[in-house]
Amino acid sequence: MPYVNIKITKEGTTKEQKAELIKGVTDLLVRVLNKTPATTFVVIDEVDMEDWGVGGVPVEAFRKRQQ
């Protein structure tokens, strides 16, 4: 009975993409660990860009710096 939490930055992920993530993660757990889909939870959190930091700065500043 796995529980999976996926955190991504909020930048327009669609319902369809979320459904693909849910299906993909569940299939992976079935394939690798033989888990039961009916007791596999997947929770997606979309995090505002200003709330996600990497490299000591908010993600937008980090991406600019990478370019």
In the complex, the residues that contact its own copies under the rule CB under 8 A are: 1-9, 13, 15, 17-29, 31-33, 35, 37-47, 50-59, 61
Identify which of residues 32 and 67 has a Cβ nearer to its own copies in the complex: 32
> Which residues on neighbouring strands pair with residue 8, listed in sequence order?
46
Cα(40)–Cα(62) distance, integer angstroms: 34
Dist. CA 50–CA 31, nearest whole Å: 36
Site of tokens 């993660």: 25
Token pair belonging to 17: 């993409």
2 is catalytic: yes
Question: Of the two residues 43 and 64, which places its CB atom closer to its own copies in the complex?
Answer: 43
Least spacing, CB of residue 67 vs its own copies, in Å: 13
Catalytic amino acids? 2
